[in-house]
Amino acid sequence: MSDLRDLYQEVILDHSKAPRNFGVLKGATHSAEGYNPLCGDRLELYLVLEGDKVTDAGFKGDGCAISTASASLMTEILKGMTRADAEAMFAAMHTVLTGEGEVPEGVDIGKLAVFEGVRAYPMRVKCATLAWHTMRNAIQEKAEEVATTE
Amino acid sequence: MSGATARTPAHALDIERIRADFPILNQDINSHPLVFLDNAASSQKPRSVIDAISSYYQRDHANVHRGVHTLSQRATDAYEAARSKLAGFLGATSDKEVVFTRGTTEAINLVAYSFVEPRVGKGDEILITTMEHHSNIVPWQLLCERTGAVLKVAPINDDGEIKLDEMFAMIGPRTKFVSVVHLSNALGTINPVRRIADAAHAAGAFVLVDGAQSAPRMRINVAALGADFFALSGHKTYAPTGIGVLWGKAELFDEMRPYQGGGEMILSVTFEKTVFNEVPAKFEAGTPHIAGAIGFGAAVDYIESIGIDAIEAHEHDLLLYAADRLPEIAGLRIIGCAREKAGVHSFVLDGIHPHDVGTILDNEGVAIRTGHHCAQPVMQRFGIAATVRASFGLYNTRAEVDRLVAGLGKVREIFG
């Protein structure tokens, strides 16, 4: 097994202890709920979309370091993205976490590279993907569906 | 390190010999010797159990209660011998009081369907407690949906003990059935099931005791417990998965309707009329898990060769030792501080999610359980989403508790 420091990188620990964009986002135009039945992690995601563009993002929830950091970093990175950008980043994140497929052309994963260490811990991949599945439901306006990582 | 580490408890089992009986323990996980502290989820199997299953398949296998040939006779004898061993283990008065099931869950579902359902109607009450495992909640919810009965839930206090006065006040003329866990898998609480059974019986209600966690670590005598039904699982009791037992009073079994229909559970079948077999066959439709039952019998032999009282004392020592050492970790809070406790410590660490604790401990070779332990109402009661749970078995040692504590120290190192 890899060094634990590959999993719990400084950026992840920092975002898990002091999550950014945490709390109910007033004026959200889109929102969705995520739930991981395996571990009980819950997440509420809020987005402000102006036209096709995400102008603000926030979340609330209770989860492990990986899931909290994933949601925190995601809300940072989403701001300024179009729906298509967000979908491309969703696909890129899948590649980061599983090593399967290719990062879509033109996508810069930037800080999300810190999640590459999760790959060595298959039981924890779902912790990192919960926020992203929830985001997808929000932008696809499937707020009535609770996103799961299945 | 605590000074207690070096002390050997007076009742000491020959722990090295016992550990040698469990082949799985002899391995490294992530470059550390395995420390298995997830026994409440499922315990490991001694070689004698593994050998009994293997030997059965290599020498004695055929279907039971069917053929006139030698192998069928051997398989039947071994299967029925296992039933006798379980009857003895539970203090049952007759082998007919022991029904093999897939596990505790199926045993509870069987009682709900075959015994309770025909006895309840709209407005009748089923009473459980806040600390039940989902397997002792959901079957009753389904029953209530089918019958219009009402599920009542007795509260627990901050230490994780049933509020008995409130529970007794909830038992009344509408109470038809009380189903209660003997030893909580999420809190380690030992419940006073005798007093609960007496109160239920005084009101004319019947009682099931969920013994999934108590059977592996406490002496069980069903008569002394005062229950009408007692359910346990093989795989938590050093036996294989997929096998369990429902003990029930013979006179209640006799009057109950079958659970599933099929072969084995009938005396005669025509298209006009089917005559059901006697208990326990009436509740064992289809070819049973013969090897599982034989393995369960071998596990009972193993437990009895060591002595359940010695096992109980050994685990109690580990529980106290861990209760002493765990608070050395900053911000650690034990969930469940009942006066009567066994086998299990659930705890949380301030600001650190149990899943992160679980991953780091696994990296140190220490297997514990994290999550809600199939007892979400307990988590809700304590306002938490999940806990870390260390649960002991007869092969665990104080040195392994030390490894757990050292691993938790590492968690603190990483998370600060």
Q: Write the CATH number for A28.
A: 3.90.1010.10
CB contact under 8 A, B356 and A62: no
Picking from B349, B350, B356, B414 by the largest number of A CB atoms within 10 A of its own CB, the best residue to mutate is B356
CA angle B21, B26, B27 (to 5 degrees): 155
With an 8 Å Cβ cutoff, is A61 touching chain B?
no
pLDDT over 90 at A81, yes or no: yes
What's the rounded Cα separation, in Å, for the pair A122 and A138? Answer: 26
What's the rounded Cα separation, in Å, for the pair A39 and B402? Answer: 27
Residue of A38, A68, A124 with shortest CB distance to B359: A124
Handedness of CA B46, B48, B54, B56 (dihedral sign): negative
pLDDT in tens, B48-61: 999 999 999 999 99
* Cβ neighbours of A39 in B, within 8 Å: 355, 370-371, 386
Domain hosting A43: range is: 2-147
| CA distance, residue B371 to nearest chain A CA (Å) | 5
Cis peptide before A19 (omega within 30 of 0): no
pLDDT in tens, B4-50: 444 445 567 899 999 999 999 999 999 999 999 999 999 999 999 99
What's the rounded Cα separation, in Å, for the pair B131 and B161? Answer: 9
CB contact under 8 A, A40 and B371: yes
CB contact under 8 A, B352 and A38: no
CB contact under 8 A, A65 and B352: yes
CB contact under 8 A, A127 and B363: no
Picking from A4, A124, A125 by the largest number of B CB atoms within 10 A of its own CB, the best residue to mutate is A4
* Cβ neighbours of B354 in A, within 8 Å: 64
Per-residue b or e along A38-61, where b marks 16 or more CB atoms closer than 10 Å to that residue's CB:
ebbbbbbbbbbbeeeebebbbbbb
Q: Strand pairing of B28-29 and A41-50?
A: unpaired
Q: How confident is the model at residue B88 (pLDDT cuts 50, 70, 90)?
A: very high
Chain B positions contacting chain A at CB under 8 Å are 30-31, 351-356, 359-360, 363, 370-372, 376, 379, 385-386, 414-416
pLDDT over 50 at B360, yes or no: yes
Size of interface A-B (CB pairs under 8 A): 49
* Cβ neighbours of B363 in A, within 8 Å: 1, 4
With an 8 Å Cβ cutoff, is A109 touching chain B?
no
Please check whether residue B375 is in contact with residue B134, taking contact to mean a CB–CB distance below 8 angstroms: yes
Residue of A13, A42, A127 with shortest CB distance to B355: A127
pLDDT in tens, A30-72: 999 999 887 778 999 999 999 999 999 999 998 999 999 999 9
What's the rounded Cα separation, in Å, for the pair B136 and B134? Answer: 5
Domain residue ranges of chain B, discontinuous segments joined by +: 15-33+308-415, 49-304
Picking from B134, B349, B352, B355 by the largest number of A CB atoms within 10 A of its own CB, the best residue to mutate is B355
Can you tell me which residue has the tokens 């399967």? A100
Mean pLDDT of B408-414: 96
Domain count, chain A: 1
Q: Which of B218, B31, B227 is nearest to B111 (CA)?
A: B227
The pair of structure tokens assigned to B179 is 């189903």
CB contact under 8 A, B415 and A40: no
Amino acid identity of B55? S
E runs forming strands in B322-368: 332-335, 344-349, 366-367
What's the rounded Cα separation, in Å, for the pair A34 and A147? Answer: 4
The pair of structure tokens assigned to B299 is 């596990």
CA separation, residue B69 to residues A60, B75, B226, B367 (Å): 67, 10, 42, 46
With an 8 Å Cβ cutoff, is A125 touching chain B?
no
Residue of B355, B376, B414 with shortest CB distance to A64: B355
What DSSP letter does each residue of A56-85 carry, written as one string? EEEEEEE--HHHHHHHHHHHHHHTT-BHHH
CB contact under 8 A, B351 and A64: no
With an 8 Å Cβ cutoff, is A37 touching chain B?
no
CATH classification code of B15-33+308-415: 3.90.1150.10
What's the rounded Cα separation, in Å, for the pair A132 and A93? Answer: 8
Torsion of CA B343, B389, B230, B159, to 10 degrees: 80
What's the rounded Cα separation, in Å, for the pair B132 and B213? Answer: 12
The residues of B that are catalytic are: 374
With an 8 Å Cβ cutoff, is A12 touching chain B?
no
With an 8 Å Cβ cutoff, is A4 touching chain B?
yes
For residue B67, the model assigns a pLDDT of: 80
Q: Strand pairing of B244-248 and B344-349?
A: unpaired
Mean pLDDT of B201-219: 98
What's the rounded Cα separation, in Å, for the pair A42 and A133? Answer: 12
| A37-41, A76-80, B129-133, B306-310, range with the lowest pLDDT | A37-41
What 3 state SS string does B131-170 have? CCCHHHCHHHHHHHHHHCCEEEEECECCCCCECHHHHHHH
3-state secondary structure of B226: coil
Residue of B356, B370, B372 with shortest CB distance to A65: B356
CA B298 from chain centre, in angstroms, equals 17
CB contact under 8 A, A13 and B351: no
Summarize chain B as % helix, strand, coil (round to 5): 45, 20, 40
For residue B185, the model assigns a pLDDT of: 97
Is B49-304 in the same CATH topology as B15-33+308-415? no
pLDDT in tens, B248-269: 999 999 999 999 998 888 888 8
What's the rounded Cα separation, in Å, for the pair B416 and B413? Answer: 5
Torsion of CA B348, B349, B350, B354, to 10 degrees: -70
Q: Which residues have C-beta within 8 Å of that of residue B143, sequence separation ≥ 6?
A: B112, B113, B116, B117, B120, B126, B149
With an 8 Å Cβ cutoff, is A13 touching chain B?
yes
Q: Strand pairing of B344-349 and B387-391?
A: antiparallel
CATH classification code of B49-304: 3.40.640.10
The pair of structure tokens assigned to B41 is 């989820």
For residue B255, the model assigns a pLDDT of: 95
Can you tell me which residue has the tokens 């976490």? A97
* Cβ neighbours of B416 in A, within 8 Å: 13, 17
